[in-house]
């Protein structure tokens, strides 16, 4: 039994874990601050290259011009009463769901962008496609398109300009240029997006924004994108109703022509046979009269249906209302010198301070002497 009992004489009290007091923390902070002051040359060495880099950006980054366009869409076509809804049941009226997200996705789509880019406008006394104005003003030949293509199969775009707007028949080179410009607008791994679109869920107001190196280009491109977006959305929203209206109008015009022809033939028969008195001789007159009545009734119904189709079409047309259109002058946004100075100093001090502090921590650990252990 004694073999399993602990030897009380050999037991030593366990030392409590060392805890840092507030005084120790303050002393340690003062020690680090003194180390930073002592190693100010190291901090300066870290700040110097970062200041040079930020200064280079401040003097070489071009001034950009940003503008916004706000608008709202009223496409509530689901407010018809029950009687009218039953009359218009075949004309495909839509629901009153919110389409703002879909509109903004359309604004970012390649289809809308290419329609806007191939509108001809005058900028700086030169009339050309907006795409070519963008290439010149953004200096794509000197910057983006002067680089060697990453993909060996991709053609070089150096010196390229668009000469036509028939996108469906573009060559591989033209498609490459179009997709390159589109990537700059919507953003990619290499580019911050120049174009933005957002929706205010509370007010229903949508905002389009664009940022380029030219005031005139920013305003013209932003307005072109809005015009193309508005036209495309209205056409897409009313496509079914317009087709129905055109079908009913075609039938109504045919019935009107049949009615007019029957009336003319009946009058012509009476003029040529006004002295006939036998019942069999008057039979064509009765037939003309019967056909005229039938065509008149059918034409009347078709006119009513045409009016209903016209009402359905007009009711379905969304109202795209611009609120604030971009207008000059725009304030240019340079890469600020104060911003460059603050970033250069801030990054240099942070990186240099971390280096000095970690170096001191490692040096203190290496030079620390072990605490002797009391054997008694």
**pLDDT for position 271:** 67
Buried b (16+ CB within 10 A) or exposed e, 89-103: eebebbeeeebbeeb
**pLDDT for position 80:** 44
**pLDDT for position 17:** 46
Token readout for 70 is: 């706000």
Alpha-carbon gap, residue 48 to 147, rounded angstroms? 30
Query: Do residues 117 and 131 lie in contact, with contact meaning Cβ atoms separated by under 8 Å?
Result: yes
pLDDT per position in the chain (376 positions), as tens?
444 444 545 544 444 444 567 777 788 788 878 877 888 888 888 888 887 787 777 666 778 899 999 998 876 544 443 333 444 444 444 433 457 888 899 999 999 999 999 999 999 889 999 999 999 999 888 888 887 777 767 788 888 999 999 889 999 999 999 999 999 999 877 778 999 999 988 888 999 999 999 999 999 999 999 999 998 988 887 777 767 777 777 877 777 787 787 777 777 777 666 655 566 656 676 777 777 788 778 877 777 777 777 776 676 777 788 899 998 888 877 766 677 778 878 888 888 888 888 888 888 788 765 555 555 4
**pLDDT for position 135:** 93
Sign of CA dihedral 345, 348, 354, 360: negative
> Where exactly are the structural domains of the chain?
21-59+336-365, 65-237+323-332, 241-316
**pLDDT for position 20:** 63
**pLDDT for position 136:** 92
**pLDDT for position 78:** 44
């Amino acid at each position: 039994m004694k073999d399993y009992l602990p030897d009380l004489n050999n037991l030593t009290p366990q030392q409590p874990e060392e805890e840092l007091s507030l005084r120790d923390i303050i002393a340690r902070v003062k020690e680090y601050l003194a180390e930073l002051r002592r190693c100010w040359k190291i901090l300066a060495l870290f700040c110097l290259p970062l200041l040079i880099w930020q200064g280079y950006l401040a003097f070489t980054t071009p001034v950009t011009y940003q503008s916004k366009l706000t608008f709202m869409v009223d496409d509530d076509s689901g407010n018809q009463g029950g009687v009218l809804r039953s009359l218009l049941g075949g004309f495909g009226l839509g629901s009153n769901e919110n389409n703002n997200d879909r509109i903004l996705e359309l604004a970012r789509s390649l289809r809308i962008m290419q329609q806007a880019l191939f509108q001809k406008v005058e900028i700086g006394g030169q009339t050309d496609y907006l795409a070519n104005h963008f290439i010149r003003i953004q200096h794509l030949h000197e910057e983006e398109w002067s680089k060697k293509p990453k993909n060996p199969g991709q053609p070089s775009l150096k010196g390229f300009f668009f000469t036509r707007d028939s996108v469906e028949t573009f060559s591989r080179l033209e498609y490459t240029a179009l997709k390159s410009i589109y990537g700059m607008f919507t953003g990619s791994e290499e580019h911050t997006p120049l174009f933005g679109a957002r929706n205010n869920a509370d007010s229903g107001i949508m905002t389009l924004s664009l940022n380029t190196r030219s005031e005139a280009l920013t305003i013209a491109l932003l307005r072109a994108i809005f015009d193309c977006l508005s036209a495309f959305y209205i056409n897409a929203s009313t496509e079914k109703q317009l087709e129905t209206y055109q079908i009913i109008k075609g039938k109504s015009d045919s019935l009107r022509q049949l009615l007019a022809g029957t009336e003319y033939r009946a009058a012509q028969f009476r003029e040529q046979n006004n002295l006939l008195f036998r019942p069999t001789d008057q039979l064509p007159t009765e037939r003309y009269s019967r056909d005229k009545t039938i065509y008149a009734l059918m034409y009347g119904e078709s006119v009513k249906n045409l009016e209903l189709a016209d009402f359905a079409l007009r009711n379905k047309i969304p109202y795209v209302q611009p609120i604030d259109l971009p207008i000059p002058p725009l304030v240019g946004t340079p890469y600020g010198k104060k911003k460059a100075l603050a970033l250069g100093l801030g990054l240099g001090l942070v990186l240099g301070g971390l280096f000095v502090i970690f170096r001191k921590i490692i040096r203190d650990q290496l030079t620390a002497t072990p605490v002797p252990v009391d054997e008694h």
